[in-house]
């Protein structure tokens, strides 16, 4: 189980949208077809000579040598080398990451074979202009089979290995420290602040729970038990050993792990116990959006109001199944969306915002409406989607290995950031193969990722008149578009959704955190 998530040859076990694991599985499937490609037609200049390591095969005139794929080592964890890529600094109550250079790597996707690099950049990596990629190539930042590519007209073949060096900017997160609740050698339990993703995914790498624990606390070889949404806070469990991981994973599968959440919702929630058993269907695996639908999977959540302050209610939530976004979707259906929920509290669902499952539009229209609403409010980044995610999802035919697997049974487990290069339940956190990407997306391929924030549509940004105030000294790059922007820091509303994992209980253990400030009976949101 521990190696399955990081082994590109193993099937993905993700709970919802396609992430780095699914990308790795796609790459593994593509790189499995080796023999047939030895007979590819020539397409670039070269000498008809034997190459060492080419299996003694004589290259025909004009044929480009393509080395065999390297066997990946599934046992490589994040190390000090990865942590040393950059450093943190704190400003205005936020944890920030100094921009840094990073190599995205991938083998040629099946749909890229026969296309030129220029065509691939133009059709799939549109956050930057073709001119940018041409400049990047001339500076040696784009490499094909470890050789710099200056001419983007080169045609891609199966087994081609691409490397793209980018200047990476990560979004800031809440600066509150990660509190370790339990560390007994078998489990590590932390109180996760809102806004921090669990694993490297999308635009996040160093500003993630895994990297912070590794860099600041020295924790490594952690096995995930469950996940929390990026905007959700609370109890987060990791297993320290493979044996403990398997034990906890079985408890999750057998639904013996009791989960208690607390949230603050809009309006006066009914008194007494409220049970919602509406089935939940995934509307978009790519973006990670769900809804109540008769064709969905069985689902059950128990709610109980704890307090009401005249405007909003604090509600206790017991998810008895573990569907993606289960608590959020059921509360939306009941007509009480969670405060600051950028998806299920959106007016894009219609005048009643999805109450009773009524939205009056198709799934495609819903997705488009969500994008347009957040774009108009300059808050598209809250959806954690690529710029052209909707159109691409509609137009792209999924490869067999693209198909997402069943959700896990951990309740609020889906990382919409990206969701998702997040490891699956019970998986050891390893360095995963990163997919080739554009210079500013800091995510996997726009087709496989759901977390790219395009510079032209992210809110609250202007062209920086003094670029030094955008990036700390020594971190600027002359090709980087992000370095030329001056982004306003995110607000609390953008960083914190009022949903908190309060308690996780098993047959012989119980882990809990204190109630967040917004969960107190007399709390009133500041205007």
Q: Are 100 and 211 in contact (CB under 8 A)?
A: no
Mind listing the pLDDT tens digit for each residue in 336-390? Answer: 999 999 999 998 998 899 999 988 888 889 988 888 887 776 666 666 654 333 2
Report the distance separating Cα 419 and Cα 383, nearest Å.
10
Listing from the earlier edge strand, what are the strands of the sheet with 173-174? 88-91, 94-97, 173-174
Q: Which residues pair with 179 in a beta bridge?
A: 191
Q: Are residues 269 and 374 in the same domain?
A: yes
How many structural domains does the chain have? 2
DSSP string across 444-490? S-TTT-S----TTT-SSEEE-SSGGGTS-TT---TT-SGGGEEEPPP
Which of 127, 152, 168 is the endpoint of a domain? 168
Report the distance separating Cα 426 and Cα 146, nearest Å.
34
Q: Give the containing element (helix H, strand E) for 395.
A: helix 389-395
CA angle 453–486–341, rounded 5-degree value: 45
Report the distance separating Cα 78 and Cα 176, nearest Å.
23
Report which of 475, 479, 401 is spatially closest to residue 438, judged by C-alpha positions. 479
Burial of 202 (0-12, 13-18, 19+ CB in 10 A): buried
- Token pair for 285: 């695996």
Which of 137, 168, 199 is the endpoint of a domain? 168
- Token pair for 391: 């159109």
Report which of 23, 29, 6 is spatially closest to residue 419, judged by C-alpha positions. 23
Report the distance separating Cα 342 and Cα 469, nearest Å.
29
Percent of the chain with pLDDT over 90: 50
Q: Are residues 364 and 503 in the same domain?
A: yes
pLDDT of residue 161: 94
226 in helix, strand or coil?
Answer: coil
Q: Catalytic residue among 7, 15, 191, 229, which?
A: 229
- Token pair for 97: 């990451």
Report the distance separating Cα 480 and Cα 490, nearest Å.
21
Mind listing the pLDDT tens digit for each residue in 242-295? Answer: 999 999 999 988 889 999 999 999 999 999 999 999 999 999 887 789 999 999
Q: Which residue has the tokens 């990206």?
A: 418
Q: Are residues 274 and 164 in the same domain?
A: no
Distance of CA 481 to the CA centre of its chain: 22
- Token pair for 189: 């339990």
Task: Count Cβ atoms below 10 Å from residue 176 Cβ, excluding itself.
Answer: 16
**Residue 114 counted as domain residue:** yes
Q: Are 444 and 131 in contact (CB under 8 A)?
A: no
Q: Is 229 an annotated catalytic residue?
A: yes
**Residue 119 counted as domain residue:** yes
DSSP string across 245-306? HHHHHHHHHTT--EEEEEEEEES-PPSSEEEE---EEEEETTTTEEEE-TTSB---EEEEEE
Long-range contact set of residues 329-334: C-beta below 8 Å, sequence gap at least 24: 329/280, 329/290, 329/291, 329/292, 330/276, 330/278, 330/280, 330/292, 330/299, 330/301, 330/303, 331/263, 331/265, 331/303, 333/276, 333/278, 333/292, 333/357, 334/274, 334/276, 334/303
Task: Count Cβ atoms below 10 Å from residue 123 Cβ, excluding itself.
Answer: 14
**Residue 286 counted as domain residue:** yes
Which of 168, 194, 222 is the endpoint of a domain? 168
Q: Quote the DSSP letter at residue 345.
A: T
What is the C-alpha radius of gyration for the chain, rounded to an integer number of angstroms?
23
**Residue 179 counted as domain residue:** no
pLDDT of residue 71: 65
Q: Supply the CATH number for residue 161's domain.
A: 3.10.290.10
Q: What are phi and psi of 263, to 5 degrees?
A: -145, 165
**Residue 89 counted as domain residue:** no
Q: Which domain holds residue 359?
A: 257-378+489-520
**Cα torsion for 331, 334, 338, 344, to the nearest 10°?**
80
DSSP string across 114-148? TSBHHHHHHHH-TTS-HHHHHHHHHTT-EEETTEE
Q: Are 16 and 35 in contact (CB under 8 A)?
A: no
pLDDT of residue 444: 33
Q: Which residues in the chain come in under a pLDDT of 70?
A: 1-57, 62, 71-77, 377-474, 527
**Residue 39 counted as domain residue:** no
Q: Are residues 497 and 355 in the same domain?
A: yes
pLDDT of residue 491: 87
Task: Count Cβ atoms below 10 Å from residue 355 Cβ, excluding itself.
Answer: 16
**Residue 267 counted as domain residue:** yes
**Residue 511 counted as domain residue:** yes
Q: Quote the DSSP letter at residue 333.
A: H
Q: Supply the CATH number for residue 285's domain.
A: 3.30.2350.10
Q: Are residues 374 and 500 in the same domain?
A: yes
182 in helix, strand or coil?
Answer: strand
């Amino acid at each position: 189980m521990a190696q399955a998530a990081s082994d590109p040859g193993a099937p993905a076990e993700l709970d919802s949208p396609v992430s780095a694991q699914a990308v790795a599985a796609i790459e593994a499937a593509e790189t499995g077809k080796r023999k047939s490609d030895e007979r590819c037609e020539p397409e670039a200049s070269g000498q008809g000579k034997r190459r060492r390591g080419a299996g003694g095969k004589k290259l025909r005139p004009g044929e480009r040598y393509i080395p065999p794929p390297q066997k990946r080592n599934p046992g490589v964890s994040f190390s000090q080398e990865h942590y040393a890529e950059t450093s943190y600094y704190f400003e205005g109550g936020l944890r920030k990451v100094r921009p840094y250079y990073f190599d995205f790597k991938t083998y040629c996707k099946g749909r890229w074979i026969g296309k030129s690099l220029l065509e691939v950049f133009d059709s799939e990596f549109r956050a930057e202009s073709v001119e940018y990629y041409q400049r990047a190539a001339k500076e040696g930042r784009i490499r094909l089979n470890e050789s710099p590519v200056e001419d983007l007209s080169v045609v891609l073949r199966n087994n081609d290995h691409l490397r793209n060096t980018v200047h990476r900017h990560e979004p800031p997160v809440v600066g509150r420290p990660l509190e370790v609740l339990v560390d007994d050698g078998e489990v590590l339990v932390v109180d996760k602040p809102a806004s921090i993703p669990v694993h490297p995914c999308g635009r996040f790498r160093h500003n993630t729970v895994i990297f912070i624990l590794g860099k600041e606390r020295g924790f490594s070889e952690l096995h995930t038990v469950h996940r929390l949404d990026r905007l959700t806070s609370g109890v987060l469990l990791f297993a320290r050993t493979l044996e403990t991981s398997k034990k906890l994973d079985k408890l999750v599968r057998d639904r013996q792990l009791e989960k208690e959440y607390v949230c603050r919702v809009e309006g006066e929630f009914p008194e007494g116990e409220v049970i919602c058993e509406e089935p939940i269907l995934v509307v978009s695996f790519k973006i990670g959006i769900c809804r109540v639908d008769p064709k969905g999977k069985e689902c059950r959540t128990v709610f109980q109001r704890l307090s009401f302050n005249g405007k909003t209610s604090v509600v206790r939530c017991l998810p008895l199944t573990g569907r993606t976004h289960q608590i959020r979707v059921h509360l939306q259906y009941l007509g009480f969306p969670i405060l600051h929920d950028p998806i299920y509290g959106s007016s894009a669902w219609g005048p009643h915002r999805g109450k009773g499952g009524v939205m009056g539009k198709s799934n495609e229209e819903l997705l488009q409406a969500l994008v347009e609403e957040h774009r108009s409010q300059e808050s598209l980044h809250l959806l954690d989607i690529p710029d052209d995610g909707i159109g691409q999802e509609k137009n792209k035919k999924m490869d067999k290995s693209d198909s997402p697997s069943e959700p896990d049974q951990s309740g609020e487990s889906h990382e919409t950031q990206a969701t998702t290069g997040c490891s699956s339940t019970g998986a050891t956190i390893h360095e995963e193969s990163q997919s080739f990407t554009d210079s500013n997306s800091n995510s996997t391929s726009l087709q496989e990722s759901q977390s790219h924030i395009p510079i032209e549509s992210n809110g609250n940004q202007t062209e920086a008149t003094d670029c030094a105030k955008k990036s700390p000294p020594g971190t600027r790059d002359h090709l980087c578009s992000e370095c030329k922007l001056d982004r306003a820091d995110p607000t609390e509303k953008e960083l914190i959704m009022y949903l908190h994992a309060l308690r996780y209980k098993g047959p012989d253990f119980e882990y809990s955190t204190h109630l967040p400030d917004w969960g107190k009976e007399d709390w009133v949101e500041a205007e």
